[in-house]
Amino acid sequence: MKTLQNRVKEDGVVIDEKILKVDSFLNHQIDAKLMYEVGKEITEHFKEKNITKVLTIEASGIAPAIMASLQLDVPCLFAKKAKPSTMTSEFYQTDIHSFTKNTTSTVVVSKQFLDKDDHVLIIDDFLANGEASLGLHRLVQAANATTSGIGIVIEKSFQPGREKLESEGLDVLSLCQVESLSGNKVKLMGE
């Protein structure tokens, strides 16, 4: 997706050789038009998969996930990083380690919103080590539902996330693949 790739190249800030900051359009401030196009691109790829739910994790995955769910005309569900006091019914939970924050969070989804008949499209902002997507996939499995695919906005292809997801038999779409962040420069795959 050329527009996204251009934004990553122009506005992405390399923190070190493994961390890319995209706060100006995705992780802090959101470019709604760009996220609409991201959702459209993801929807186009997965439109034949009979998706019934889009699932992400709070907070950075919500913008692209809601745009895809809008275009798929299905609910958008996000895993919460803390069980709220209002979640009084049963829930699924799993631990997810964040590469960027170097923390582990227990995330929860109410059993009311995910069941065995669901065909789930998982969406996340970044793919690095694959832990967030694998954690969401575990939640889908706990519900005896089906993970129909994984849509990623930005993939750091030099990390093992894609390999881990594909080894689970998951269909992965990444809209922007970063080959390297060496020398404080973003190098995209194919450049």
**pLDDT tens-place string over residues 136-161:** 999 999 999 999 999 999 999 999 99
Establish whether 82 is an annotated binding residue.
no
Identify whether the C-beta of residue 137 lies closer than 8 Å to the C-beta of residue 170. yes
17 carries a ligand binding annotation? no
Residue 39, annotated as binding a ligand: no
Residue spans of the domains in the chain: they are 2-188
Dihedral over Cα of 99, 156, 139, 28: its sign: positive
Q: What is d(CA 181, CA 191) in angstroms, rounded to the nearest whole number? A: 13
Which of 55 and 184 is assigned the larger pLDDT?
Answer: 55
Give me the mean pLDDT over the 97-114 stretch.
86
Give the integer Cα–Cα distance in Å for 106 and 187. 33
Per residue in 39-81, pLDDT (tens digit) is: 999 999 999 999 999 999 988 899 999 999 999 999 999 998 8
- Please determine, for residue 112, whether its predicted confidence score (pLDDT) is greater than 70: yes
**Helix (H/G/I), strand (E/B), else coil: 38:** helix
Over 70: is that where the pLDDT of 84 sits?
Answer: no
Report the pLDDT value the prediction gives residue 83, as an integer from 0 to 100: 62
128 is in an annotated binding site: yes
Q: Which CATH class is domain 2-188?
A: alpha beta
Mean pLDDT of the chain: 93
Q: Count the helices and strands in the chain (H runs, E runs).
A: 5, 10
